[in-house]
Structure formats: C-alpha cells, structure tokens
Amino acid sequence: MPDRALYLAAYDVTNADRLQAALRVLKGYASGGQKSVFECFLTARERTAMLVGAGHGDARRRLGQYRLALDAGARLVLARRLIAAKLRAQIRLLDAALNVGLTRAAAAAGDALDTLRGWRG
C-alpha cells in the first residue's frame, strides 16, 4: 500500500466557475475540511495529480505552479499571505458584528477580535 502524507489544501477564489472547479478537485481528495481549507491524505501520485489538475493548454503556467509547489520557501510565503488575508477578513466580519450592537454576540465577538488582532504580534 502506498505511503500517504497529510496535506492542508486551501484556496481563495472569487470567480464562481473557478470556485466550483476547486471544490470538485479538493472534495475528491479531502478527508475533512471547512469552507476553503481541506485535509487531504495523499500519495505522491495523488498529490501530483491534484497539483497538475486538468489540462488547459498552458504548460508554462502549470510548470511554474508545480515548481512553486516544490519550493518550501515559496509555499511558506504563500501560506502566510493566505492566512493573513483570512485573518483580516475575519477581523472585518467581527468588527461588523460589533457595529450591529448585538449584546451577547458582541461580547463574544469582542473577545475573538482581541485574539485575532493579537496574531500580528
């Protein structure tokens, strides 16, 4: 049986067609997840298949994406940017909840907001 490794797959897509395509691919490999982040236990072959995806006729772009996926430094930069963007979006959402003036929810949102703001250090 091939060895499997745990991968965390995340996406941030605004185009509806690309979003549906990303969901189809990830749900085919995911063992669990929430919204735009999925846990995938993949063999080396499955990982490559997921990264390469369906053909689109632009081999240079796909090769560049594959090279970036193999570059640990580039993966770290991309992961940090993705997480930072998601945290900023969460902060905006909690700020909006506080502005609505919900009583119990506002207190919880305020605590969560303080926690999220602390991630910046």
Of 70, 72, 54, 52, nearest to 62 by C-alpha is 52
Give the pLDDT confidence score for residue 105 in this predicted structure: 62
Q: Which has the minimum average pLDDT: 4-8, 25-29, 41-45, 102-106? A: 102-106
pLDDT single digits (tens) 48-97? 877 776 556 677 777 787 888 888 888 888 888 888 888 888 888 777 77
Burial 46-66 (b: 16+ CB within 10 A, else e): bbeebbeeeeeeeeeeeeeee
Q: Please name the helix (run of DSSP H) or strand (run of DSSP E) that holds residue 67, with its range, or none.
A: helix 59-70
Cβ neighbours for 11, distance < 8 A, ≥ 6 positions apart: 19, 22, 26, 36
Of 40, 1, 36, 4, nearest to 22 by C-alpha is 36
- Global pTM reads 0.41
Give the pLDDT confidence score for residue 56 in this predicted structure: 60
